[in-house]
Amino acid sequence: MAKPRKTKNNEDPKPENSGALVHHQKLCLSIDIDKRLVHGYTELEIAVPEIGIVGLHAENLGIESVWVDGEPTEFEYYPHQQQQVEDDKRFSSVCSPSSAADAAVSVYMSSLEKELVPNLLINCCKPSKTESEQQQEQTVPENGFHSTAEPKQNVRIVRIDYWIEKAETGIHFRNNLLHTDNQIRRARCWFPCIDDNSQRCCYDLEFTVAHNLVAVSTGFLLYQVLSKDNPPRKTYVYKLDVPVAARWISLAVAPFEIFPDHQFSLISHMCLMPNLSKMRNTVEFFHSAFSCYKDYLAVDFPFDSYTQVFIEPEMAVSSLSLGASMSIFSSQVLFDEKVIDQTIDTRAKLAYALARQWFGVYITPETPNDEWLLDGLAGFLTDFYIKKHLGNNEARYRRYKANCAVCKVDNGGATALSCSASCKDLYGTQCIGLYGKIRSWKSVAVLQMLEKQMGPESFRRILQTIVSRAQDKTRSMKTLSTKEFRHFANKVGNLERPFLKDFFPRWVGSCGCPVLRMGFSYNKRKNMVELAVLRGCTALQTSTTSTLDINPETENRDGDTGWPGMMSIRVYELDGMYDHPILPMAGEAWQLLEIQCHSKLAARRFQKPKKGLKHDGSDDNGDVPSMDVRSNTESPLLWIRADPDMEYLAEVHFNQPVQMWINQLEKDKDVIAQAQAIAALEASPQLSFSIVNALNNFLGDSKAFWRVRIEAAFALANSASEETDFSGLLHLVKFYKSRRFDPDIGLPKPNDFHDFAEYFVLEAIPHAVAMVRAADKKSPREAIEFVLQLLKYNDNNGNPYSDVFWLSALVQSVGELEFGQQSILLLSSLLKRIDRLLQFDSLMPRYNGILTISCIRTLTQIALKLSGFIPLDRVFELVKPFRDLKTLWQVRIEASRALLDLEFHCKGMDSALLLFIKYLEEEHSLRGCSSFPSRRIYR
């Protein structure tokens, strides 16, 4: 036996497992939620290395005793919290903000390094058993799991009795709810284990709780046992037959209401009683996602059951925590049948969590360098569901916007999907936060590029091969590597080895996306388009070369090695549409391409001018390209697109005349083409009435996709200026009134949200109107009066759908307004409306407190803009009551953020930071600790 041991300053325990392998693990815990106490034991069947010492991870646990094969043994425990003194010393010499930052980074990196080192060392040395006893144990393992290791391995049964008291991380208590989270390296915070993704085994799980509570965990529920104690307690027994890493073991305990799925008996949904009706409405669609994946992959679900658990948002560390055969969500994603705006995002989130059960939990990455692949496959599967059940327009638009975001951020080593240096140096943190989201989007884009190259059916066969191979019971390890996937792309997808040899190092092993700048001219004599292309890269030269391990002296000056394949240029002519896959993505950065036009109209109309006459601006030879493509009578070109099918993750800047962009907007039915045209027209240096009319016509087209119509609305707002007589503003107001106003009385009609697409477009109009600015950078009086009128006459009587998001959007549009001397008199009327909504929502809180949040945010925006006229102390006192611990956590966090903004504006950074620390100490919600820092402070 040994007591927990303090680490000396010069002592750094570096035990190595040297081949220790967990064959099976059993976890038996008794949970007292009232006392926030967990006690019990875990039993591991471990193949012990030759040194006889096994190192486990155990964070902030009370180790009572350790037994090996039924006999007590010696152990040493190094609790990391006892090393706090060493970390505090680093801050003792802080004398400036820069030194404070250095100390914080040093402490953080030290903590990450310590997490990698096992801190529970167990002596497993004991006299060896006879040869016959070893053979008998190897023939019939107790847990039925046959190891692939050598037959002479030294297998021991290690039992650890321990307790957890008032844990602060990994396992969380609040009122009558307990749950675990799956943040990086957090399984060790609630049971001793080898907390490494390479260690996978099967589990037996037993949890004893109060009789009125439900304990839901990973695996299949075998049975429940009610004790004869007074009061009685209930034990839930689970079994997980699929080997998984310790991080995928999850637990949630609460008085859950259970809602079985009406289509698949193996699916269950759980939440607390107040959210039951919302959960029933939310998960009504879920069987369609389950069936979609099952049909696409052509195999059954890999686990015996699947459970979705919804807990209160202030308890959730993140909006989603994954576990094997279960997912824990924030109940903030739930919605009832009256809420419109939440539907799409929630369905996408639940569908993604289900896809991760296949790729990430069941099939795991072979190494950290392969994590991108499983994340990307889950995202690809989610996109497939969105396309099939939410529409092709929704799927393409989402992918287009994600690709645009990736191109903006993909400029450094952290965005290289498979890079040993980044995986090692960032300790897995590259998968969380902003870079985690960008990496996920990039992973999906890379896989979709491969799908475009090989075809959807070939790609589907690859995924089916991967999952069917994983379900082969003769394989003990269900892993996937980038190398294996590359092999499948060659054998199953029929992609050539030279292409794959260039594709994976460039897209997966390095950072950066191509940036293409294009312009063209039309040659009448040759009836040909001459296209000029300049290729660049979003990544800096140092980032690209260091990631690829390239010698800069052997590469071109831009450090850009190019990308494999050819990009298509699509030309829309009078006679039809023609694709030209002629743009090489490697080689010279400058390219000049010639594209033959198919239409003969221009050639037929071309007549050689008489000598000396130069009607088209060319010389006597007629070979100089004409830049005049303003009308179809002079050119067969309607518009041109680069990479129309998103075969490349690329940032494309295409230069063509305004009329061609208008043609693209009006005649191309692809949502991406429409979005690109709107962006180009909005960015036009000279906003003409033809542009405004084109945007207005598109906004009013009810057949167009609603998300792109919203972009047209904001483009109209940006086009509104004195040069165009504010026609964009007039069009926006006219459009809204034509849909929502009673023409007889000139006032808004009662709300009617039955047309969902029209609802989303109209909801965005007030925000767009609020963005309009006059020459003095102030909002026109007409815009302010319009928003005020909508707030004043909003009437939701008789409407079956909630107007909470509708009102929230209206209130937020008030915060976007800029008041001048002529319009400041309208401010009091707006503030009265906001105050009335704030009071109403306090008396009868509505969905997730979003209306109160919008009111607080808008009041803060107005106060900061008009700080010279409005005493901020009064605003501070108005917002302060919303920090009461009895309010919804979302409202409380928004109030904290607003107060920090006001503090920073009035008293500066130091005062705001002190207030932030005070709020941090007072905040009891888990998500609050990472949610409410003011964005403005750290900008």
Q: Considering the domain boundaries, does residue 680 fall inside one?
A: no
Whether residues 235 and 278 share a domain: the answer is no
Whether residues 250 and 294 share a domain: the answer is no
Percent of residues in the chain assigned helix, strand, coil, to nearest 5: 45, 20, 35
Whether residues 270 and 225 share a domain: the answer is no
Cis preceding-peptide flag for 231 (omega within 30 of 0): yes
How crowded is residue 163: how many other Cβ atoms within 10 Å of its Cβ? Answer: 15
Whether residues 355 and 409 share a domain: the answer is no
Measured CA to CA, the distance from residue 67 to residue 77 in angstroms comes to 14
- Region class of 312: left (phi > 0), else alpha (psi between -120 and 50), else beta: beta
For 884-923, write each residue's pLDDT tens digit.
878 888 999 999 999 999 999 988 888 998 999 888 888 7
Q: Considering the domain boundaries, does residue 570 fall inside one?
A: yes
597 token code pair = 């036009």
Question: Would you state the pLDDT for residue 419?
Answer: 76
CATH of the domain at 638: 2.60.40.1840
Question: Would you state the pLDDT for residue 86?
Answer: 62
Question: Would you state the pLDDT for residue 135?
Answer: 53
Measured CA to CA, the distance from residue 684 to residue 690 in angstroms comes to 12
Whether residues 468 and 594 share a domain: the answer is no
CB 340 within 8 A of CB 191: no
876 token code pair = 């501070």
Residues 6+ apart with CB under 8 A from 203: 24, 25, 26, 27, 218, 219, 238, 239, 240, 244, 249
CATH of the domain at 298: 1.10.390.10
- Region class of 347: left (phi > 0), else alpha (psi between -120 and 50), else beta: alpha
Whether residues 231 and 261 share a domain: the answer is no
Q: Considering the domain boundaries, does residue 754 fall inside one?
A: no
Whether residues 206 and 288 share a domain: the answer is no
Measured CA to CA, the distance from residue 26 to residue 466 in angstroms comes to 29
Contacts by residues 578-586 (CB-CB < 8 Å, ≥ 24 positions apart): 579/644, 583/531, 583/533, 583/642, 585/514, 585/535, 585/648, 586/502, 586/561, 586/562
Measured CA to CA, the distance from residue 892 to residue 881 in angstroms comes to 9
Q: Which residue, 452, 469, 488, 200, is CA-closest to 358?
A: 469
Residues 414, 420, 425: CA angle, nearest 5 degrees: 60
Handedness of CA 778, 781, 784, 786 (dihedral sign): negative
650 token code pair = 């690329």
Listed in order, strand segments (DSSP E) in 723-826 are: 741-742, 747-748
Measured CA to CA, the distance from residue 618 to residue 625 in angstroms comes to 7
Q: Which residue, 352, 334, 351, is CA-closest to 343?
A: 334
813 token code pair = 């549009």
Q: Considering the domain boundaries, does residue 554 fall inside one?
A: no
Write out the H or E segment, with its range, that includes residue 896.
Answer: helix 889-907
Picking from 238, 254, 270, the residue at the C-terminal end of a domain is 254
140 token code pair = 């019939």
94 token code pair = 């802080």
Measured CA to CA, the distance from residue 538 to residue 541 in angstroms comes to 9
Measured CA to CA, the distance from residue 199 to residue 19 in angstroms comes to 10
Question: Would you state the pLDDT for residue 546?
Answer: 41
Picking from 231, 254, 277, the residue at the C-terminal end of a domain is 254
Question: In whole angstroms, how far apart are CA 883 and each of 241, 856, 877, 932?
Answer: 47, 11, 11, 11
Query: Average pLDDT by consecutive 10-residue portion of the chain (939 residues)?
Result: 45 53 96 93 93 91 93 88 62 70 80 86 71 50 44 82 87 92 90 91 96 95 92 95 94 96 94 96 96 95 96 88 95 95 96 96 92 96 96 96 94 81 73 87 96 95 94 79 94 91 92 94 91 91 43 39 91 93 92 89 45 39 37 78 94 95 96 97 89 96 96 95 89 96 92 96 97 92 95 94 96 94 88 92 90 95 87 87 87 93 90 89 66 38
Measured CA to CA, the distance from residue 834 to residue 810 in angstroms comes to 10
Q: Which residue, 793, 735, 787, 792, is CA-closest to 766?
A: 787
Measured CA to CA, the distance from residue 99 to residue 118 in angstroms comes to 31
Q: Which residue, 879, 790, 809, is CA-closest to 842?
A: 879
Whether residues 423 and 388 share a domain: the answer is yes
Which residues are bridge partners to 29 per DSSP? 40, 207
Question: In whole angstroms, how far apart are CA 197 and each of 16, 431, 859?
Answer: 16, 14, 48
pTM, two decimal places: 0.88
Domain with 574 in it: 515-539+563-599+634-653
360 token code pair = 């990430």
For 573-618, write each residue's pLDDT tens digit.
998 999 999 999 998 999 999 999 988 754 444 444 444 434 333 3
Measured CA to CA, the distance from residue 738 to residue 890 in angstroms comes to 36
Q: Which residue, 54, 249, 51, 5, is CA-closest to 158?
A: 54
Q: What is the DSSP letter of 721?
A: S
Q: Considering the domain boundaries, does residue 860 fall inside one?
A: no
- The count of structural domains within the chain is 4
Q: Considering the domain boundaries, does residue 374 fall inside one?
A: no
Q: Considering the domain boundaries, does residue 476 fall inside one?
A: yes
* Longest alpha-carbon distance in the chain: 111
Whether residues 71 and 190 share a domain: the answer is yes
CB 359 within 8 A of CB 351: no
Whether residues 309 and 395 share a domain: the answer is no
Whether residues 497 and 533 share a domain: the answer is no
Whether residues 498 and 529 share a domain: the answer is no
Provide the 3-class DSSP secondary structure of residue 224. strand
The number of residues in the chain equals 939
Q: Considering the domain boundaries, does residue 418 fall inside one?
A: yes
CATH of the domain at 40: 2.60.40.1730
Measured CA to CA, the distance from residue 780 to residue 774 in angstroms comes to 6
- Terminus-to-terminus CA distance in the chain, angstroms? 53
